[in-house]
Structure 1
């Protein structure tokens, strides 16, 4: 099963289990089924729960907030995550605040899905990774799609939180297989839902990357192992904010170097938040500060050869690790 198919199956299961869950978005109804076909078949099966909307990200998210405020639940598809900026006010200034500003906690069950990231040649305004603009908002959690996390479980967790969630879906992940082969490594999952990919328990370095970056981090791990004899452990969280990985979990690996890889451009990023969270607990135990690996400070070109030069790739991670460890 591919990631997009798993996501579609999860949405089918969520809407079937709770008739109070509504799915809203542009062109999500059949026969089109969304820009990336993630919502295919849902409007035909659940005609009263699926609403194909006009082009208005603020309006869609506002309606979703109203449904959540009245006790139902809503899942919004923003066709391209770049345009979630248009929904910033209803999401950040209303939905997330409504959880706690009425004197007692009010469940606001809503998920805003954001197909994001580059690698598809869609150009500057359809290829960005906007998650960093939504970090640190009280009452708003941020998750990222991952081939190692079953989406039915992830949706269950997000809706159970009772607060708005931004679900970042790296578009290149859609066609990847669920639970991919990580040979020669093995993987497990912690109680916090963090996937650990490793060869041995005493690696040279720790890589931390969200789900959309996982395949690139894995490729870098293989090349570092076979070409430079550098052993790594990769940690892939499903929930990005609040960040679930504690300093103790990193310290337990014995590694003295930590890298955080992401596709966002530098400056106020998720990676910087991770480094900040880990710094205090690992002070004096690392050989150098946490190293951030991110895309070039540039708009994202449409031409594939230029796009590759801008975005974080496996080679980017490989080169950064070598520079630090050798």
Structure 2
């Protein structure tokens, strides 16, 4: 199953299991089925609960937050995560605060799905990863799509929290296959966190969100073949708050899309330093995109974004000092 099909199946499951669940967004109705076809078939099966909206992320997020406030379940699909800035006010100043500001905890089953990242030549305003701007918002949980964990499990976890959640979905992953890793790696999931490794004690741990997982695995495979260094990839579904169970290793690298400064990766580094400082031979290494506008030309885009080569180079520098 491809990742997009896995999310589509999860959405079918949510709407089938909850008669008060709605999917809201632009151009969702069949035969179009959304910008990346993740919503295909849903409007045909649930015509009264898949709502195609005008082009206004602020409006669709506000409507969804109102539905959640009234006790319904609302899932919003943005065309691109870049437009999260337009929905920021109803998400942060209304939805996230509504969980606790009425004197007693109020369930708010709201999920905002954000197709994120570059690699498709969409240019500066359709290729960003804005996850860092969501870290630390009270009442708001941040998750990321992973090719190693069934999306139905992640949706169930988000809805069980009964608070607004943002679900970051890397656009490149949509066409990739679930659970695919090269030999000799295997993937397993424990407590919502995926672990990809050879089964041998690792020399290095690479922590990465689901969107970078494919590039991270490619970098680890190269590290093993060319440098004979065994690494373990750790991919949490829930990004914030940070909670990781890492083995004792001398080197930890965190790779994420998006630019440096106030990032999820910095939160992970703080978490690792506080809990595993005695095991480390060096500080945690952070890998980010370049601090530049993302070009549309593919060869220039690759110079800005995090690639498998970027991650590999950072791991080699970390191990060799």
TM-score, normalized by the shorter chain, greater than 0.5: yes
State the partner residue of 1:198. Answer: 197
Contact 2:146 2:211 in 1 (8 A): yes
Question: 1:44, CA displacement in angstroms?
Answer: 1.0
Contact 2:34 2:79 in 1 (8 A): yes
State the partner residue of 1:300. Answer: 294
Give the gaps of 5 or more residues in structure 2: none
The correspondence of residues 108-257 of structure 1 with structure 2, limited to 5 A, is 108-190=108-190, 192-245=191-244, 249-250=245-246, 253-257=247-251
State the partner residue of 1:41. Answer: 41
In the alignment, structure 1 residue 11 sits paired with structure 2 residue 11: yes
Question: 1:201, CA displacement in angstroms?
Answer: 4.1
Contact 2:179 2:187 in 1 (8 A): no
Aligned-partner SS, 1:68: helix
Q: Deviations over 1:188-239 (max 9, x none)?
A: 211x210111113421110000111011010011100110111100000111
**Separation in structure 2 between the aligned mates of residue 44 and residue 280 of structure 1, nearest angstrom:** 51
The correspondence of residues 64-103 of structure 1 with structure 2, limited to 5 A, is 64-103=64-103
Q: Deviations over 1:160-186 (max 9, x none)?
A: 110000000000000000111342112
**Separation in structure 1 between the aligned mates of residue 165 and residue 102 of structure 2, nearest angstrom:** 20
Question: 1:286, CA displacement in angstroms?
Answer: 0.6
**Separation in structure 1 between the aligned mates of residue 243 and residue 42 of structure 2, nearest angstrom:** 32
**Structure 1 residue ranges (4+ consecutive) displaced by more than 3 angstroms after TM superposition:** none
**Separation in structure 2 between the aligned mates of residue 324 and residue 31 of structure 1, nearest angstrom:** 49
Question: 1:119, CA displacement in angstroms?
Answer: 0.3
Give the gaps of 5 or more residues in structure 1: none
State the partner residue of 2:275. Answer: 281
Contact 2:181 2:187 in 1 (8 A): no
**Separation in structure 2 between the aligned mates of residue 100 and residue 324 of structure 1, nearest angstrom:** 43
Contact 1:256 1:286 in 2 (8 A): yes
Question: 1:280, CA displacement in angstroms?
Answer: 1.2
Aligned-partner SS, 1:152: helix
Question: 1:149, CA displacement in angstroms?
Answer: 1.0
**Separation in structure 1 between the aligned mates of residue 248 and residue 70 of structure 2, nearest angstrom:** 49
Contact 2:200 2:230 in 1 (8 A): no
Contact 1:202 1:254 in 2 (8 A): no
**Separation in structure 2 between the aligned mates of residue 308 and residue 231 of structure 1, nearest angstrom:** 26
